[in-house]
Amino acid sequence: MTQIRINDVAYGGVQYARISPDQCQKIHNASLEILARTGARLYDQEAIDLLKKAGASVSEGNRVRIPAGLVEKAFSTVPKRVTLYDQNGEAAMFLEEGRCYYGTGSDCLHIVDHRTGERRDPVLQDVVEGMRVCDALQNIDFVMSMFLPTDVHEMVSDRYQMEAMLHNTTKPIVYVTNEFSGCVDAVEMAEVVAGGAEELKLRPFAACYINVTTGLQHNEEALQKLLFLAEKGLPALYIPVSIAGISGPITPAGSVALVNAGVLVGLVLSQLKREGAPFITSAMSGGSLDMKTMVSPYSEPDQRGVPHALAHHYNLPMFGLGGCSDSKLVDQQAAAEAALTMMAETLGGANLIHDLGYLESGLCGSLAQLVTCNEIAGWIEYNLAPVDVTDEALALDLIDREGPDGQFLDSDHTMTNFRKRWYPEVFDRGNYDQWQAEGGLSLGERAAARVEKILAEHQPQPLPEDVAKKIKAIVERAEKSFK
């Protein structure tokens, strides 16, 4: 579990802001103007009715213009922090100002197999192995499914993913489902593990990541999921994506203002449905289309930090995107982009930094790459740790005692403090001969070996038998309904 704190003066944490508070307010005002003037299209009648009843204006059947007052009211009731628990009911992640946690992404359509280096279609066993590796890696704080399994019925792949996550790790889960019914089933499974609906609400260990078409187009399933979760009092991540230059302005400020307008639609709706419903905002950089390749890149630098500053401004928990790469394989570009995006997202203070281990702009995943990301997270944690400048740390007496010609290797001070430094697990620091003696392996090869070692040795805590049975029954029920 990482212990990172950003912008925490009392703690001595690093201070970082990509844009100023005044700039944040300006973007916020722009989002309010978009909602009042342009409005958003909503494809769910209950959502439209809720907004209309609260004072929004509706035209063209589903185009909703939301006055600023409704947004301000929602800010007065939405919780400013969310605690996510592990599956044993222990508090695991405090999603609040300045706390950063790392996790995987979901639903990759391809996997680079760490055993062969081959890119292939993922199967359910890949999800299982991915979760077992996440369970073992100490800096992976929460999990998402990683892969979309192609060997199960496509309409219920989300149920199989949820089952695999529950079985193979106790860490908090961020789940994604195809349809609304998948979300309902995922919640039911989580309730079974927690021991009931009230227990899950009290100690939620799973949050739903809701995909919204664009900032101003809100699809039916997204709105249904949002309202269902608000009613249940369970945390929802409401994530509209407008690709900058395509479905939104190419400029970071305009793009963020547009996506944020969409987030605010979700915020208002969640609070209208149930005041105090836990809501997690998006710090996902919209991703501006690469105008040469027509790919929407995952590790671009331009927008990173802008939506984060806005979420700080709101004092709302936020969902960020890092540890990902646009490279096709586990190579130098993948390592560089993973490190840069993780550092930028952490400095930005994203509470849930997802997509560790992603390649190919979100289409492919790798367990070896995930191990590298775990290593990077450790590096970042130590780099951003507060610096101790007490007398004990300055060690003036020791310096004087040793004098100009002394050495510090055998001092108690060295003995008590040297272990506090960071030591890598897969980054290599040996000299050339040592490195060669250990096989002369590249980072990717060492990371793949680490994956194999974890899979051979690590046994996650199993689900109680009766719980596992009930979970299986939910998966089977869903499968039958689609046959």
Partner 1 sequence: MSGELLNKITLSIVEGRPDEAVDLTRQALADGLEPLTIIDEGLTAGMNIVGDKFQTGEYYLPHLIIAASGMQQAMELLEPELKARQQAAESAGVVVIGSVAGDIHEIGKSLVGTMMSASGFQVYDLGVDVSTEAFVAKVKETGADILGLSALLTTTMTVQRQVVRELEEAGIRDQVKVMIGGAPISQEWAETIAADGYAEDAVGAVELAKQMVA
- Which parts of this chain interact with partner 1 (CB under 8 A)? 43, 107, 109, 121, 148, 154-155, 178-179, 213, 217, 219, 243, 245-247, 289, 291-294, 363
Secondary structure letter of residue 10 according to DSSP? T
Q: Give the whole-angstrom CA distance, residue 337 versus residue 343.
A: 10
Give CA–CA dist 327/298, Å, rounded: 10
Kindly tell me which of 292 and 429 has the beta carbon lying closer to partner 1.
Answer: 292
In the complex, minimum distance from the CB of residue 245 to partner 1, in angstroms, rounded to a whole number:
8
**Which residue reads 């639903």 in tokens?**
107
**Closer Cβ to partner 1, 10 or 291, answer by number:** 291
Contacts of 462 (CB under 8 A, 6+ apart): 167, 468
Minimum Å gap between C-beta 214 and partner 1 is 9
Rounded distance, CA 290 to CA 288, Å? 6
Instruction: Considering the complex, state which of residue 42 and residue 373 has its C-beta at the smaller distance from partner 1.
Output: 42
Please give the C-alpha separations between residue 418 and each of 137, 411, 423, 451, in angstroms, as whole numbers.
23, 11, 10, 28
Residue 455: burial class (beta carbons within 10 Å; 0-12, 13-18, 19+): middle
DSSP 17: -
**Minimum distance from CB of 126 to partner 1 (Å)?**
16
When the beta carbons of 250 and 340 are compared against partner 1, the nearer one is 250
Question: Please, where are the H alpha helices in 11-67?
Answer: 21-33, 45-54
Q: How far is the CB of 289 from partner 1 (least distance, A)?
A: 7
Q: Taking a C-beta distance cutoff of 8 angstroms, is the pair 289, 246 a contact?
A: yes
Q: What minimum distance in Å lies between the beta carbon of 157 and partner 1?
A: 8
Looking at the Cβ atoms of 60 and 412, the one nearer to partner 1 is 60
CB nearer to partner 1: give 179 or 402. Answer: 179
Provide, rounded to whole angstroms, the least separation between the CB of residue 180 and partner 1: 11
